[in-house]
Structure 1
Amino acid sequence: MTMNPGDAHRLATAPVVVGVDGNHTCESAIRWAARTAARRRRRLHIVHALGFSSTRAVLGSYDVMIPAVTEGMRERGDRVLAEATRVARDAAPDLTVVTELSEADPAELLVAISERAHMVVLGARSGVGTLRHLGSTVLTVAAHGHGAIVVVHDTDVRETGPVVIGVDGSPVGDAAVATSFAEASERGVELVAIHAWSDMDSGTFAGTTYFELPAAEREVVERALTAERLAGYQEKYPDVRVTREVHTNGPRLHLADASAGAALLVVGSRGRGGFRGLLLGSTSTWIMQHAQCPVMIVHPEGL
């Protein structure tokens, strides 16, 4: 894709966006987003949406709501943004912060904003063990957002550790691979690339159908395909040390295990054969619920 100077300037100045709803769930996400924005010398854009548009869909107009109720919601929204700003500035004192109070539906607003954001960050609540409770806004934005969407759970977030990338071996996953290299380079850490080949449903190598290959040869082929997917980015980011792992099965469990010591886990937004209306693959959704570090879902351009 050809990029004109205006597009390049927009990408260079795009803010880190964090969506907040006033719950303590968001605090880890705010701190993570603030530190990321500060390191990259970007603005932090804190967004709180009141969801009046949802009321309009039911009642025809939110003007029928009692004025005192709508005013109270706006006042609470202002307090939510003020508290979120305080948390952000505690995490990164010199950070430039802008806030937005909107009447729109939260998910619709964040999906729209993601088109012009450096990344969008959302909070998720931890449940039993490492299981996260993903609200409808998180799931919708993760599935339909543009670029990078980061889900941060409400437990402490480590600042150290490698970046982990789930490599699915398909061209669709290239955007996630590219982003993982950039993240590892920016942080100055190792990149761990994990691929489990048994989740493939099709593919050919040297004219031979994937499943026609003997089991022993499949692993050789998958290692070669994984190396091929990474090779160009290793040339672009020679400072990034890469560890490649190829497993016969269990991509979810291998990624979840790796997340225990990682600073960030990067996955693509869909698997093979995904449709525009259902962009988030089953592995990515499961990982958002079970990973023990922030998860970045990367959407390929043009989808």
Structure 2
Amino acid sequence: MTGQDADQQLFQQYRSLLFSVAYRLLGTAADAEDTVQDAWIKWSAADRSQVADPKAYLARIVSNLAMDRLRSTRHKREVYVGPWLPEPILTGGDAAETAMDAESVSMAMLVVLETLSPLERAVFVLREVFDFSHAEIAGVVERSEAAVRQAAHRAREHVHSRRPRFTADRAQQRDATERFLTAATGGDMNSLMELLSPDVTLWTDGGGKVRQALRPVVGASKVATWFAAIATVPYQGVEPADMAAEMVEINGGPGMVFSAPDRVIATLTFDFDAEGRISAIHNVANPDKLGAVGTGTPYPIRTR
């Protein structure tokens, strides 16, 4: 094996981990893939004889590239038409993945991470999700360890205040999602109302490309009415009879994909309250954000 082959093999060993870091930092699969490719270019050009810890070195490269990209895209997200939601990905449900893996890549968590600064987001992800030490993170983000500890504290308090943890288990979530699928595709308002928390919030992301609500839809009655219509009216020009809906794993939890004969037209992911009712729904319909789901290929969400 040549030195170049060995370098490529080593990079491939950590590739899924690097994607997992980049996706949590950026919230889009396309940007994460580009960032990993840029990291490979930097890795290829580096003097690797001086690299004592390839994993930490690669994590530093991909984190800094992702933070740079995040800063450059922030303005676009601020002027986005309607709510900006992360790009959904299919995930595999590997038994080796922990509950923290799934939670850290959930749509609801990624939405909260959007409210952090790029530095705070990187520190939070590397510390809370990937278990890097403060000293290791200081080397990654090129800050003092004291500054990293302060950023970690701010980010953790911010996230925990906006992302309460509930105990609805995966079986309970899956059951609620299956019942929601049946009720929505059957236009069953009563069943939808039973499944929804009274103050449920629906976030819809059409990005100005397809017609969606430009503000959150709040309240069980309004949200149930929105979804009951799926069975009776065309959606994005697709008649109900021509639309397929299936339950899949999206971003570490049960979700739904709506498809026309020739394309994916929307995804749904859910958040649940302490009683197991649906407390939030994230509906991504912007066609620019459905490419990763459209491939049908699960993405890694590993943290080790």
Taking structure 2 as the reference length, the TM-score comes to: 0.28
**Structure having greater relative contact order (Cα 8 Å, sep ≥ 6):** 2
The structure richer in helix per residue is 2
The structure richer in strand per residue is 1
Taking structure 1 as the reference length, the TM-score comes to: 0.28
